[in-house]
Amino acid sequence: MLVSHAAFLAQVNIEAAEGLADEFERTAGSLETMTLHCPWLFGDYIPVHKYRYILFEKHYAILYQAVDDIVYADYVIDFRQEYGWLFR
């Protein structure tokens, strides 16, 4: 998902695409130390206490699970699209 966002952005501004990838790496890396400090994701179709999220850049979030001290980044979403139903 991040690759498609960065590829689209690179068509307009390569530096911005590289910045997006760098910020993703920095944010994902921060989950090593603050895995459980991020809020839970709640929604009508989301299993309770399964996913957490962390925001990065202006419009993006990483949706992840933490299982046995391992972080699984399942989705990267762009809030400019219709994801408002995920966050209530």
What does the alpha-carbon distance between residue 14 and residue 10 come to, in Å, rounded to a whole number? 4
Q: Are 78 and 62 in contact (CB under 8 A)?
A: no
Query: In 10 A of CB 19, how many CB atoms?
Result: 14
Structural fold of domain 2-86: YaeB-like fold (3.30.2310)
pLDDT in tens, 59-85: 899 999 999 889 999 999 887 877 766
Sign of the Cα pseudo-torsion (55, 57, 63, 29, in order): negative
pLDDT in tens, 11-48: 999 999 999 999 999 999 999 998 899 999 888 888 99
Q: How far is CA 82 from CA 7, 8, 28, 59, in A?
A: 20, 18, 23, 12
